[in-house]
Amino acid sequence: AQSVTQLDSQVPVFEEAPVELRCNYSSSVSVYLFWYVQYPNQGLQLLLKYLSGSTLVESINGFEAEFNKSQTSFHLRKPSVHISDTAEYFCAVKVNQGGKLIFGQGTELSVKP
HSE toward the beta carbon, residue 47, CA cutoff 13 A: 26
Kindly state the number of chain residues that form the binding site for other proteins, as judged by CB under 8 A.
Answer: 26
Q: Does 94 bind other proteins (CB under 8 A)?
A: yes
Q: Does 54 bind other proteins (CB under 8 A)?
A: no
Q: Does 43 bind other proteins (CB under 8 A)?
A: yes
Cα 34 from Cα 41, distance rounded (Å): 21
Cβ atoms within 10 A of the Cβ of 16, count? 12
Q: Does 103 bind other proteins (CB under 8 A)?
A: yes
User: Smallest distance from the beta carbon of 92 to other proteins, in angstroms?
Assistant: 8
Q: Does 17 bind other proteins (CB under 8 A)?
A: no
Applying CB under 8 A, among 36, 63, 67, 74 the residue interacting with other proteins is 36
Q: Does 52 bind other proteins (CB under 8 A)?
A: yes
**Which spans of this chain sit near other proteins (rule: CB under 8 A)?**
4, 6, 32, 34, 36, 41-46, 49, 51-52, 90, 92, 94, 96, 99-106
